[in-house]
Each structure stands twice: as C-alpha cells, then as structure tokens.
Structure 1
Amino acid sequence: MKIHHIAYAVNSIEKSKTHFKSLGFSEIEKTIVDINRKINICFLENKEGNNNTVIELIESVDETSPISNLIKKMSGAATPYHICYEVDSIDNVIEEYKKMGFILTQNVAPAIAIGNRKVAFMFHKDMGIIEFVENK
C-alpha cells in the first residue's frame, strides 16, 4: 500500500508549521476546518530528493475534539498520530484488517480535507491507529 500521509497531533498548527518548513516542507493548501471531527488540518509536503513526503498537522478545535486528550497526555507536545494508506476499496480493507484483529474506531466517512474521499480509522494494540483513504 502506498502511504498517503503521516499525521501529527499538534497543539498549534501555526507553530508546528514553522518547524516543518525548516525541514523543507511547504504548505499544500491553507488550513482546513473539519467541523464534523472538531479539528483543524493542514497538509505539508517535502519534495526534496526522490521523495514526496506528505504530513498532516492536526489541532483540536475545542476540548471535545478526539485528539484533545492525546495532546493533554503529551503535555501539549506534538506527537505522531497515525499513518494513512491509500486503498482501492475501504470496505475490502476493513474486512481484511478486522480478520487480523484491528478494530474500526469510527464509522467510515468522507474527509473534507482529502476531497471528501472516504476514510476509515482502525486500531491495533501492536500498531496503534492507521487510516485508510479510498482512491476514488
């Protein structure tokens, strides 16, 4: 599977963006507000060398955001959150990964920050959270 992006939970997108830019990343588009997930999202990419690495910076909109507690546990420090993989069929991947012991953490839904493509978040105690985004 191709990696779509690596996500970081951050306390402040603006502050974190500055540091990632010093590593050669540039903003793909302006920060997007995802009201349904109660988060702000900003995608950055680094095209240096033969790589094209995309990262997603995620900050909570308020205390009810799903990543708010994670940031609190990290004492406000940024932390890797998940790796997102591109797949042809969300439904097929979910069934396949459930057989391997992964748990679907929330219903499949369109992601406003990724062109409303369907995404699924799954968890396994040995891997943490992974995200799948459908190619369609």
Structure 2
Amino acid sequence: MQAFLLRFHHFGLASRRPEQTLRFLRGLGHEVAMEVYDPLQNVNLWLCTHFSMPTVELVGPAEGQGPLDAILATSNESIYHLCYETENLDASLEAMKAAGFRVICISAPKPAILFNNRQVSFYMIKDFGIIELLEPA
C-alpha cells in the first residue's frame, strides 16, 4: 500500500547547458511538450515527455540569481528532485511525518506556470532527498 498518497509525475534535471541536455533527451526519443520561463522561480523550463520513459522537467538557469545556483555549483547538470502528484498536500505531509520522516519545506506552495498554475511546493525529506509536490488543478 502507498502510505503517502503520492503518484510519480516526473524527475527534475537541472542543467547549465540545457540546449545540449535537450539534444540528448531528443536522442532518447523525448519530445518537448512545453517550454516556458517561470518568473516566480527565475528558471527556464522544458517539460519533456516520452511514450514509455519517465517525464523529465529540464530546468535551466535564467538571468541573475536563482534556485539552481547551489545545485549547479559543483556540476553542470544534476537530477535534483522527484515530483509527485498529491490529491491532499496536508494529508501527504502528515503521512510522511507519521512514518517518522523529517520533512522540511524549502519552497512553499506557489503557482507553477509549467503546470497550468497548479500549486507546487518543494520539501527536503531526510534520508531521501528533495521532492516536489504537485497539487490538483
């Protein structure tokens, strides 16, 4: 049974050179379903879909400081988050905490232009890593 009430949606891949990363993804058969600049996060985004492989959210830096600065400080690319959809954010977070996981909010819910302004938030899960939670429309 799935205790946290989550469904896998995509993984997030940060890249200092997104045009090169896109070339590789296209070589794997991914297609760019959407490309946007997100001013709330100050990043460029490409949602790359595939008929049989996981969806990839390619995240590239924009002008000035942004959330990728620390992530790309030691590497030009990094898979840095997994995104899950939740029908009930509070219930999912409480289930993780009840299971004994330390859950730290690193970005409070805000509308995500890439996902038709659905609310997204980011959390550091101790002993797992960063997850993005995507709320219903």
TM-score of the two chains, using structure 2 as the length reference: 0.87
1:15 maps onto 2:23 in alignment: no
Question: CA shift at 1:12, angstroms?
Answer: 2.1
Task: Specify the SS of the correspondent of 1:135.
Answer: coil
Task: Specify the SS of the correspondent of 1:28.
Answer: strand
- In the TM superposition, what whole-angstrom CA distance separates every residue of 1:78-124 from its partner, at most 9, and x where no partner exists? 11011100110122223333442111112111111111111121102
Question: Which of 19, 25, 30 matches 1:25?
Answer: 30
State how 1:50-129 maps to structure 2 within 5 Å.
51=52, 53-74=54-75, 77-99=76-98, 100-129=101-130
Structure 1 residues 119 and 58: CA distance shift in structure 2, 3 A: same
What percentage of residue pairs aligned between the two structures are identical? Answer: 26
Structure 1 alignment gaps of length 5 or more: none
Contact 1:10 1:71 in 2 (8 A): yes
RMSD: 1.5
What is aligned with 1:134?
135
Contact 1:90 1:120 in 2 (8 A): no
What letter matches 1:27 in structure 2? V
What is aligned with 2:50?
46
Contact 1:94 1:104 in 2 (8 A): no
What is aligned with 2:11?
6
User: How many residues were matched structurally?
Assistant: 130
What letter matches 1:28 in structure 2? A
TM-score of the two chains, using structure 1 as the length reference: 0.87
Determine which structure has the larger strand proportion and give its number. 2
Q: Distance in 2 between matches of 1:62 and 1:73?
A: 19
